[in-house]
Amino acid sequence: MSPIPVCTPRLAEHRLQSGQHPISNLPQYHRFITTHNPAGQAVVHSHNPFAWAAYDNNNLAFSVPYTTSSFPADLNDDADIAAHERVLASGTLGLVHPRGTVLRAVDFAPGYACGMHRTQSLDYGIVMEGAVDMVLDGGEVHRLRRGDVAVQRATQHQWVNASRTEWARMMFVLQDCGEVRVGGVRMAEDLGTNSGLPPSGN
């Protein structure tokens, strides 16, 4: 049996493609952003397929449908939409957006394991397709199946696609949080060999 592929420390240098189609065989998702017309009625501002960026020899893919840059978010005059577009265009978005949120879809190739990592954030991770093992640095391993939710609270963890033959997908909402300390030690961001993304800066 071949070893599980693991993210490498220089993963950012191995980004292979970016486009409007998933690299996996999983369904394409679409984003619908709403707004108000001049009469105050709800309308769709924009509708787009998810844009995907592939990493690590096509074993991992990210899509970021939306971000916010403040809390509470400012929705007046579509300020949040403009802020999201600026964040993506900057090319500096880490796993977490300081003082904001990140909505991120992640596709994992069969058998793929990302590196052990921690973000300074409160994250909701929902399994959309397949089964994913949540591995914690304390030694626990929990299998999450479609619809299961992980509430990650600035802890060291790893995601492993439990299948050797099928892709898996998770959807994450990552929310910036204040410093977390355990026994006087700060639980700061530790990207390990995870994503190849820049530090979040929070």
pTM of the predicted protein model: 0.88
Mean pLDDT of the chain: 90
Cα–Cα distances in angstroms (integers) from residue 87 to residues 24, 41, 75, 82, in the given order: 26, 28, 16, 9
The answer, yes or no, to whether residue 30 has pLDDT greater than 80, is yes
Q: How many CB atoms lie within 10 A of CB 179?
A: 10
> Across residues 60-78, what is the average pLDDT?
96
Q: Would the pLDDT of 193 be above 70?
A: no
Q: Quick one: average pLDDT of 49-58? A: 92
Q: Can you list the domains of the chain with their CATH numbers?
A: 11-186 (2.60.120.10)
pLDDT at 110 over 70: yes
Closest CA to 153 of 176, 171, 185: 176
